[in-house]
Structure 1
Amino acid sequence: MNTALIVIDVQESFRRRPNWAAVSNPEIVPQVNRLVEAARANGDLVVWVLHSEPGSGTVFDPELGFVHPIEGLEPAAGEPVVTKTSHNAFTTTNLQQLLTVHGVRELVICGIRTEQCCETTTRVGSDLGYQTVFVTDATATHPIEHWDAPAGRSLDEILADPRTLSTDQIIARTEYALAGRFARIATVKELTGS
């Protein structure tokens, strides 16, 4: 079975946001690099996905210069880099075409944010017929405010609110939702042997 490692949104944009101080996995770069090195050693396709919001004026606006991999991650020559404008990596890109051309049947998913772009890509990939592996310890997320919380609160206020979902709660919920339905849950160690 041909496999592709999909590295989703591990980009500088996220480090420029105030909530990066509460990120679940500040060591995501070494974890992703271990997966990348293993994929390259196996001859698997590595696809880099970046999120872009052109004209938004946010850290995801390419005009501001943050829509690139976080320092320490580097696509190799010939590895596709696709830019998406939706939550999943399929809808607004040519990802499915790339995977088809390379005969890929299995996806290994890592990146930022665990419950958003990574989980959504996993679900869509599964629905498209790919065997999917979700590598939780090579994903990262941030605490999520309650949906009716007041806008503009500081990170300290968000973290102090008992209705805020912690990163541990988010990660557990994602694993429960995906496991056995959309993906096999795996660790970096399980996939790389180290």
Structure 2
Amino acid sequence: MKRALVVIDVQESFLQRPSWAVSSNPDIAKQVGRLTEAFRAAGDAVVWVLHVEPGTGTVFDPERGFVRLLDGLAPADGEPVLRKTSHNAFTTTNLQQWLTERGIRDLTLCGIRTEQCVETTARLASDLGYPVTVAIDATATEPIAHRDAPPDRSVEEILADPRTLTTAEIIARTEYALAGRFATIATVDELTLR
């Protein structure tokens, strides 16, 4: 076992937000499920990471009950479920120690949000010396409002603003930013039909 799939924030919390209705990949659990099956079949590791914001009262506060994997996903015996409070999967977890103890050197990442926690983890993992692959179609994101947009706008208002970054633009930007610098970009088919 020299490879690991790191599944980042594929959790119920996101489904509780109105913006999930315009997610780039509402069926992300299916793609993640394909990846986990392929990694397990190859004898490789799977690591689950959940984002938590204790005491905030948000959908990421464990007390609200939404900090759990999406339906259809579950860790197998021996697969760790780490909880993080930072954007990347390393800083506030023991992920690096877990990988090092098992001699894992290659990482494949997937999860929610493409440009946020997945991309940030890819950049840090690369800096730590890991060869990184991002399974781009096993990530999901939501449109991002312009920095000058008023707060608390509805999803419809965000979508109507021509300054809003679409999910396709965000994913393309992430591919351009990571490819050849921090990660290899691949599809689930490319990773599972080898």
Aligned to 1:151: 151
How far apart, CA to CA, are the structure 2 residues paired with 1:86 and 1:149? 25
| TM-score normalised according to structure 2 size | 0.99
Aligned to 1:99: 99
Aligned to 1:125: 125
Aligned to 2:81: 81
Residue 10 in structure 1 maps to residue 10 in structure 2: yes
Aligned to 2:39: 39
Identical aligned residues as a percent: 70
Ranges in structure 2 where 5+ consecutive residues have no aligned partner? none
Aligned to 2:26: 26
How far apart, CA to CA, are the structure 2 residues paired with 1:28 and 1:112? 9
Aligned to 1:53: 53
Residue 77 of structure 1, CA deviation: 1.3
How far apart, CA to CA, are the structure 2 residues paired with 1:100 and 1:148? 43
What residue identity is the alignment partner of 1:140?
Answer: A
Residue by residue over 1:132-171, the C-alpha shift from the partner in whole angstroms, topping out at 9 and shown as x without a partner, is: 0011000000000011110111100000000000000000
How far apart, CA to CA, are the structure 1 residues paired with 2:101 and 2:22? 39
How far apart, CA to CA, are the structure 1 residues paired with 2:162 and 2:176? 22
What residue identity is the alignment partner of 1:65?
Answer: G
Aligned length: 194
How far apart, CA to CA, are the structure 1 residues paired with 2:126 and 2:91? 14
Aligned to 2:186: 186
What residue identity is the alignment partner of 2:112?
Answer: I
Residue 26 of structure 1, CA deviation: 1.0
How far apart, CA to CA, are the structure 1 residues paired with 2:142 and 2:21? 9
How far apart, CA to CA, are the structure 1 residues paired with 2:102 and 2:160? 47
CA root-mean-square deviation? 0.9
What residue identity is the alignment partner of 1:121?
Answer: T
Residue 27 of structure 1, CA deviation: 1.4
How far apart, CA to CA, are the structure 1 residues paired with 2:94 and 2:15? 27
| TM-score normalised according to structure 1 size | 0.99
Residue 116 of structure 1, CA deviation: 0.1
How far apart, CA to CA, are the structure 1 residues paired with 2:3 and 2:133? 10
How far apart, CA to CA, are the structure 2 residues paired with 1:55 and 1:145? 26
How far apart, CA to CA, are the structure 2 residues paired with 1:144 and 1:101? 38
What residue identity is the alignment partner of 1:191?
Answer: L
Residue by residue over 1:13-38, the C-alpha shift from the partner in whole angstroms, topping out at 9 and shown as x without a partner, is: 00000000000001111100000000
Secondary structure of 1:104's counterpart equals coil
Matches within 5 A, 1:162-173: 162-173=162-173
How far apart, CA to CA, are the structure 2 residues paired with 1:70 and 1:31? 12
Show structure 1 runs of 4+ deviating over 2 A.
none
